[in-house]
Amino acid sequence: MNELILKGAAELSQLMADGQVSSQEITQACLDRIAQVESAVAAFLHVDAERALAQAQRIDRQRAAGQALGPLAGVPVALKDSFAYAGAPTTCGSLILRDWIPPYNATVTQRLLDAGLVILGKTNLDEFAMGSSTENSAFGPTHNPWDLERVPGGSGGGSAASLVAFETPLAIGSDTGGSIRQPAAVTGTIGVKPTYGGSSRYGLVAMASSLDQPGPCARGVLDAALLHRVIAGWDPKDSTSIDAPVPDVVQAAGQTDLTGLRIGVVKELGGEGYAAGVERRFTEAVGLLEAAGAQLSEVSCPHFPLALGAYYLIMPSEVSSNLARFDAVRYGWRVNDDGRHSVEQVMRRSRGAGFGDEAKRRIILGTYALSSGYYDAYYGSAQKVRTLIIEDFAAAFERVDVLISPATPTTAFKLGERAGDPLAMYKADLCTIPSNLAGNAAASFPVGLSPEDGMPVGLQVMAPPLADDRLYRVGAALELALRQQWSGPLWAELVRREESR
């Protein structure tokens, strides 16, 4: 295995600055790895090898000419296939967008390019980011590199899997109900949902506009912070973007002493329905945080158990509105039309063939919730619950600086295990949904492997809005403790397993 693909973004950046390796060499190593493992992992929907190498060569020339470059210049990154990237297919994992090649870049995409990162390609996802397993992709599922018979989480399973398959050192995801954090938890990686409005949604194909948020994915805390800094900040193209300074997440990622930090353990996120191995590793991690100087206490957020029901009314309502544009007339793939059908018939046939079952399920549910006579009873009531959850967070953050919980109730489940049971699938996001409804910052950090099945377990950290730096402070302490416990990073165990096969 090429040693370059095992290194993190910060280390690769330093090696390039020291002249020990070029961006082209790093990019080629990643592309070689993709060619080696993609048939088994299926993390990518599109690999943009030619353009990636051209970007790497340009960065190498700029560095050789003495130009000032950003800290991640020349480092490869994978982009979730819901972000527009001019000239590259952007499918959102759906047949209805299978032929769309955007003529523009999403703000996140443009900021990656402006910072000199090398975009390797587009990663797989549940169709329009609707799912918790990446099995809802129209182009087939992604497999978890820890166990190829298990899911990598969703909706951003492709981005998470690409990290632990060592195809890329960095990836971009989007988080609507846990689509960054839940895959991070079940793959042993790091996934961060910034404060809502902290990173631009312009050019991110919308699923649920009041919930979607782009964020960084990485194998190391500092790497995630460096990527966070690149993509975050105000964007006039996004009306929900916050015009405020980005918290100093990079500085926070260098802190490992938690002395004086008040951490609240959410009482409602645990117990029945949570795997014993997940709870064991979570409890051990609480002890590690206390040993690092944090002050731990239990905090009740009484309305969190209502979050799942509220989310599955608010989110589908926004889905039904956002996906209405894909009508085969203005946007979206069209079923072959022989000219004998009306516009309505073409639209119905195209949407019927272009959307998968989960997308249809959520469109129908959302349309019903918004329909005359049911709006107040369903959508209106769900928004009231959302307010109560926001109030729970506000009350909790008066007592503590951050909240913690398991990131997801179980480890990665088997492919197909929950495919026929939507409710069981939805429950994978029990812990992550409250932060999307409230808009505060949240992240998942690995805390070891479950003693039950040897699969990764994640701990979720939740911080107040615009206090994203607190996530990284806790994550850095956990990372240090875990490295000491495992005599290296957690993913090194994955390398040992691969080399022993």
Give the span between the Cα atoms of 144 and 296, in whole angstroms.
Answer: 33
Q: List Cβ neighbours of 339 (8 Å cut-off, separation of 6 or more).
A: none
Is residue 82 among the annotated active site residues? no
DSSP three-state, residue 76? strand
Please check whether residue 174 is in contact with residue 129, taking contact to mean a CB–CB distance below 8 angstroms: yes
Please check whether residue 199 is in contact with residue 39, taking contact to mean a CB–CB distance below 8 angstroms: no
Q: Kindly report the backbone phi and psi dihedral angles of residue 405, in degrees, each rounded to the nearest multiple of 5, phi listed first.
A: -165, 170
Q: Which of 7, 80, 122, 193 is catalytic?
A: 80
Q: Which of 94, 132, 137, 179 is catalytic?
A: 179
Q: List Cβ neighbours of 411 (8 Å cut-off, separation of 6 or more).
A: 186, 275, 277, 278, 450, 452, 453, 455, 456, 457
Please check whether residue 445 is in contact with residue 461, taking contact to mean a CB–CB distance below 8 angstroms: yes
CA dihedral 355, 357, 361, 362 (to 10 degrees): -50
Give the span between the Cα atoms of 81 and 100, in whole angstroms.
Answer: 11
Angle at 399 between CA 398 and CA 402, to 5 degrees: 90
Q: How many CB atoms lie within 10 A of CB 493?
A: 18
- The secondary structure of 446-464 as a DSSP string is EEEE-TTTS-EEEEEEEE-
Q: How many CB atoms lie within 10 A of CB 313?
A: 22
Q: Kindly report the backbone phi and psi dihedral angles of residue 192, in degrees, each rounded to the nearest multiple of 5, phi listed first.
A: -125, 130
Q: How many CB atoms lie within 10 A of CB 114?
A: 12
Is residue 122 among the annotated active site residues? no
Whether omega before 372 lies within 30 degrees of 0, making that bond cis, reads no
- The secondary structure of 322-374 as a DSSP string is HGGG-SSSSSS------S-S-HHHHHHHHHHHHS-HHHHHHHHHHHHHTSTTT
User: CA–CA distance from 244 to each of 249, 300, 430, 467 (Å)?
Assistant: 14, 30, 30, 12
End-to-end CA distance of the chain: 13
Is residue 155 among the annotated active site residues? yes
Q: Kindly report the backbone phi and psi dihedral angles of residue 459, in degrees, each rounded to the nearest multiple of 5, phi listed first.
A: -110, 130
Q: Which of 13, 155, 162, 350 is catalytic?
A: 155
Give the span between the Cα atoms of 156 and 54, in whole angstroms.
Answer: 27
Rg of the chain (C-alpha set): 21
Query: Where in the sequence numbering do the catalytic residues fall?
Result: 80, 155, 179
